[in-house]
Amino acid sequence: MAAPPGKVLLIGWDAADWKIIRPLLERGCMPHLKSLIDGGVAGNVTSLQPMLSPMLWTSIATGKRPDRHGIHGFTEPRPDGEGIRAVASTSRTCKAIWNILSQTGRRTHCVNWYASHPAEPINGVSVSNRFAVIPPGPGLAWPIAEGAVHPTDVCDALAPVRVRPEELDASMLLPFVPDAAKVDQARDKRLLALAVILAEAATTHGAITWCVEHRPWDFAAVLYNGIDQFCHLFMQYHPPRRDGVSEEDFALYHGVVAAAYRFHDMMLGRLIELAGADATIMLVSDHGYRIDRAAAAAAHEGPRTLESLSREHRAQGICVLRGPRVQRGQTLQGASLLDVTPTLLALMSVPIGADMDGRPWVEFLHLDAAPESVISWETIDAGEPSAGQHPPALRESPAESLEAVRHLIELGYVDPPEDDVRRAIERTLEQNKYNLARSLMDARQPTHAIALFEELLRRHPEHVGYATSLFEAHFSVGRISDARRVAETMWSRGYRGPLVNLALGAVAIAQRRIDTALEYLKDAERATPDQPSVYVLIGRAYLRLQEWKQAQRAFETALQLDGDSETAWDGLASAQLGRGDAARAAEHALHAVGLRSDYPEGHYHLGVALAQLGRAQEAAEALRRCLSIQPHMLAAYGRLIDLYEGPLLDHAAARRCRQQTQQIMLERRLRRRAPAAPSTTPAASATSSPPDGHPPAG
């Protein structure tokens, strides 16, 4: 018998990463997190692209991707057209979990979630991400921003929990920087930045602890974004000392990141105590944080930009789940951050929206029955009780919007607005459109992304990022000639970076011009020997040549540079299949899908390896999973047919697979016969030679 639904607490740690946590757990430095892990399930949770916090945390809270929830960046144009503002809760186009739970009568609190200002009128207390923002200087007035708290009658009670940086004494900073007295604060502002992050985290903690201690609740959610901020500023000093970091800086700041995690563990302990022994607690991060050479390079490459900050993120975040309805001692596998809301709804016996992109982790839960579902919570009228959403006409004051943008500028998340307001708005719209297109690529909707990339590239034909993204989109749907045209256009415009060689190499691989591909890829390798994507493509070229040892060596090099590359693990699985080692191939393919559960090639090679090992039922399951992600992969249908007609003896299933295969082949023939639509991509002539270097191969 499953336990009845009880209180559920969702805790977000922005950018928390197991690679940093595990050594701290081994040293006994995070006892409260260890108690959660020991009493429940824990593992990786796969992030989404692009790894930008407002988009990701909104996906966590809705179970939907950005193209469906409406949050596409850190900022957006103000509704009055007079500038830009921090992205607002009024821009979210679907219900978050706190809206759904409010609508079902649950008492719900939400504190400091991204894109939560103005605070929504939910059935409980809502404290927006504007509440903890520190005033721009010591001693300045710090009124609670209008709309930062719902209901407003708790503002007086919450005001005292806020912490100013100047209120932190030396004893509070010394655990982070023991030699803080040696810092010349007139020259070195890092200690002040640390104090600001610490004060904001303490303010967030004060707000959530007041809510769960003084107001009744069934569900509460809180987001601590301090780990991400600490890492962006201080990860370059985390041991071991990296090239470019002085001995003086390393001695001062090497312990900051570890201290930040220990501080968060202390706050976690208080929340566990307040929630009670019978509460279900989920701790999750939106992504991890790189501690490898790629992160160090991004941290030193010049001015901090949105792109450089996101490159420091790792696609594997953390998740821990403990409660009376949760199994113990299991490793969470195949989890996506899109699964968080469906899983929490299942735990609270609330129907899951069939239009949500995630799934509940039922294999780790003790439930009386399968979770119920509704077509969509968006089609269910609020009625009574209310879902706690804002009326569409709600707007916020320009002054408050600019204050929030100022804070994002100080954190390095957005560029300072330009004097030309119109241009600033245009840049914001373009950046958000680019983010949306990248999100569509991540959702395996490349044809929708292509139109956005082409529009952006028409406006900015010199933009390498737009051109590279368009190349990837064309390439992913098999439009090899269009992909090649984009790469050659980059070359004709004078861009000589390794990205062009990678692109042309990928095209040559697809066209089976392997020697030409290797020539391009080796040029890219000489230019960027620390890029794992170069070695992945080199490995794929050797796979086409059936040079299995060479392919294996290339993929292993890629993994030395980035051990979290699912494409490299999958390539290694393919190389081991070529060498006849199905057992190792299965291990590598499992590693690939463990890193990214929606990676179809990994499931395919896992199915092939398991079939060779005689594990037919498991092989069929892996191949079916592959086809659920990539439903037009003919090779997977072929392998399934072999299994159904062979060891599984399911001739009806084999017949269905053959029918599906014939339908796919017919659709492909019809597409080939249809007249091609003219490309809107600017292109160089395919017959022209580049001004220098070797030309694109014919």
Please report, for the chain, the start and end positions of each structural domain, with discontinuous segments joined by +: 8-406
Three-state SS annotation for 135-203:
CCCCCCCCCCCCCCEECHHHHHHHHHHCCCHHHCCHHHHCCCCCCHHHCCCCCCCHHHHHHHHHHHHHH
Please, which residues have CB within 8 angstroms of residue 134's CB and are 6 or more apart in sequence?
A: 142, 164, 165, 196, 199, 200, 407
Predicted pLDDT of residue 399: 44
- Pick the residue with more confidence: 255 or 545? 255
| pLDDT, position 563 | 86
pLDDT of the residue at 545: 82
Task: Provide the pLDDT for residue 297.
Answer: 54
Q: Is the pLDDT of residue 692 over 50?
A: no
Smallest CA-to-CA distance from 413 within 54, 89, 63 is with 54
Which pLDDT does position 139 carry in this prediction? 79
pLDDT of residue 627: 94
At residue 408, does pLDDT exceed 60? yes
pLDDT band at 683 (very low <50, low <70, confident <90, very high): very low
Per-residue pLDDT, 597: 83
Collapsing DSSP to helix, strand or coil, 418 comes out as coil
Q: CA torsion, points 357, 362, 367, 373, in degrees to nearest 10?
A: 20
> Residue 676: pLDDT band by 50, 70, 90 thresholds?
low
pLDDT digits (tens, 9 = 90+) for 460-500: 998 988 998 998 899 888 888 898 899 888 888 877 677 78
Q: What is the pLDDT of residue 464?
A: 87
**Tens digits of per-residue pLDDT, 211-267?**
999 999 999 999 999 999 999 999 999 999 988 899 999 999 999 999 999 999 999
Q: In this predicted structure, what is the pLDDT of residue 685?
A: 33
**Residue 694 clears pLDDT 60, i.e. is over it:** no
Tell whether the model's pLDDT for residue 362 goes beyond 90: yes
pLDDT higher than threshold 50 for residue 302: yes
Question: Which CATH number among 3.40.720.10, 3.30.420.40, 3.30.43.10, 3.20.20.140 corresponds to the domain 8-406?
Answer: 3.40.720.10
Of 91-95, 417-421, 485-489, 674-678, the poorest mean pLDDT is in 674-678
pLDDT(273) > 90: yes
| pLDDT tens track for 516-537 | 888 888 887 887 788 888 888 8
Q: Which of 294-303, 405-414, 683-692 has the lowest mean pLDDT?
A: 683-692
Average pLDDT, the chain: 88
698 pLDDT more than 50:
no
Above 90 in pLDDT, residue 81? no
pLDDT for residue 413 is more than 70: yes
In the predicted structure, residue 552 carries a pLDDT above the cut 70: yes
Q: How far is CA 592 from CA 245, 375, 541, in A?
A: 33, 33, 19
Q: Is the pLDDT of residue 179 over 60?
A: yes
Residue 331: φ, ψ to 5°: -100, 125
Give percent above pLDDT 90 in the chain.
62
144, 145, 97, 146: which is closest to 122 by C-alpha? 97
> Does 18 or 4 have the greater pLDDT score?
18
